[in-house]
């Protein structure tokens, strides 16, 4: 059985893919990752992601938003500019947005303001949110709780937390994105314990390429760059942790991503 996987978080506009992006996409397709959601991290990269997706309408979609690292740049952009970008059919979610107190490249107060503004944009355009959280769990939950019932969907991108944090997210109705962090023998233990508890209808898969290359991948790429084609490896690890076949996991997570991002409706019928 050939897998049909969707990578819900690949950073294909990253400079590390500039020289061979078409080959990277082709390798992913050959491996069974037939569709990808390209992540936007600020206004420029969100435009680039939307342009890339528009040029490959049967395989790529995109998100548009400001990562908390770049929250200081959000005030310099207009609501109208974001509404125009988010109105494009290939742009299927708001984000990557959220809070990151681990590095604080933007002050926490500025992060919170940008996060709330982007959640308000998601409500306005009726598109789901692609969320980032690191070392900011309490504030993250507090802000999201204010939008309970108003968002049409939210996914905890690159979830790396423990069972308690998972329960908090599930209680708020979030879906959960799992990456190659689950393959990290140093840092992934809590996530490995949490993965079997993720409801089947809330689970999605992602690489966050070129980041988070699975540490147990063999052969290990000399350039240490993660690619969407490695989502198969992530799927195999997640399936093993959940005690199900990788084929079954692929069917379920793909169905979840199609529904969450409304892929079948975003630009007409999907070319199979």
Distances (CA, A) of 13 to 21, 24, 49, 146, 221: 8, 12, 6, 32, 20
Residues 116-142 have a mean pLDDT of: 98
What is the spatial distance between Cα 263 and Cα 7, in angstroms, rounded to a whole number? Answer: 13
Share of the chain above pLDDT 70, in %: 97
pLDDT band at 83 (very low <50, low <70, confident <90, very high): very high
* Whole-number Å distance between alpha carbons of 133 and 139: 10
pLDDT of residue 267: 53
Q: Each residue of 182-224: pLDDT tens digit?
A: 999 999 999 999 999 999 999 999 999 999 999 999 999 999 9
pLDDT top residue among 264 and 80: 80
For residue 272, count CB atoms less than 10 angstroms from its CB and return exposed for 0-12, middle for 13-18, buried for 19 or more: exposed
Per-residue pLDDT, averaged over 50-78, amounts to 97
pLDDT at 271 over 50: no
Considering the entire predicted model, what is its pTM? Answer: 0.95
Q: How confident is the model at residue 264 (pLDDT cuts 50, 70, 90)?
A: confident
What is the band of 265 on the pLDDT scale with cuts at 50, 70, 90? low
CA distances from 217 to 13, 116, 208, 224, 229 (A): 23, 38, 15, 10, 12
> Quick check: 183 and 158 in contact, CB under 8 A?
no
**In a 10 Å sphere around its CB, with 0-12 CB exposed, 13-18 middle and 19+ buried, how is residue 222 labelled?**
exposed
* Domains of the chain, each with CATH number or no CATH: 13-266 (3.20.20.140)
> If DSSP codes are grouped into helix, strand and coil, which group holds residue 99?
strand
User: Is a pLDDT exceeding 90 seen at residue 239?
Assistant: yes
State the pLDDT at residue 268.
Answer: 45
Helices of type H across 4-134: 21-31, 43-55, 79-86, 108-125
Going from the C-alpha of 187 to that of each of 7, 103, 190, 206, 233, the distances in angstroms are: 22, 18, 8, 18, 18
* pLDDT at residue number 272: 37
Whether residue 188 contacts residue 171, with contact meaning beta carbons closer than 8 Å, is answered with no
Residue 2's pLDDT is what?
A: 78
**How confident is the model over 151-178, as pLDDT tens digits?**
999 999 999 999 999 999 999 999 999 9
């Amino acid at each position: 059985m050939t897998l049909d996987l969707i990578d819900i978080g690949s950073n294909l506009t990253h400079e590390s893919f500039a020289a061979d992006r078409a080959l990277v996409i082709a390798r992913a397709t050959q491996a069974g990752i037939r569709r990808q959601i390209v992540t936007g991290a600020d206004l420029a990269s969100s435009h680039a992601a939307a342009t890339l997706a528009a040029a490959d309408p049967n395989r790529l979609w995109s998100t548009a938003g400001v990562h908390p690292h770049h929250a200081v740049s959000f005030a310099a952009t207009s609501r109208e500019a974001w509404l125009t970008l988010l109105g494009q059919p290939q742009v299927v979610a708001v984000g990557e947005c959220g809070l990151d107190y681990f590095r604080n490249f933007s002050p926490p107060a500025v992060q919170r303001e940008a996060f709330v503004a982007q959640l308000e944009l998601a409500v306005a355009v009726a598109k789901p949110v692609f969320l980032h959280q690191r070392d900011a769990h309490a504030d993250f939950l507090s802000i999201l709780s204010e939008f309970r019932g108003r968002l049409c969907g939210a996914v905890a991108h690159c979830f790396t937390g423990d069972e308690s944090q998972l329960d908090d997210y599930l209680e708020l109705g979030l879906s959960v994105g799992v990456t190659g962090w689950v393959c990290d023998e140093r840092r992934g233990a809590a996530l490995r314990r949490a993965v079997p508890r993720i409801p089947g209808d809330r689970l999605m898969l992602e690489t966050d390429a070129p980041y988070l290359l699975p540490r147990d991948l063999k052969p290990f790429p000399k350039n240490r760059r993660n690619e969407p084609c490695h989502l198969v490896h992530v799927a195999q690890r997640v399936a093993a942790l959940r005690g199900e076949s990788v084929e079954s996991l692929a069917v379920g997570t793909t169905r979840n991503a199609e529904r969450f991002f409304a892929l079948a409706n975003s630009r007409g019928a999907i070319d199979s």
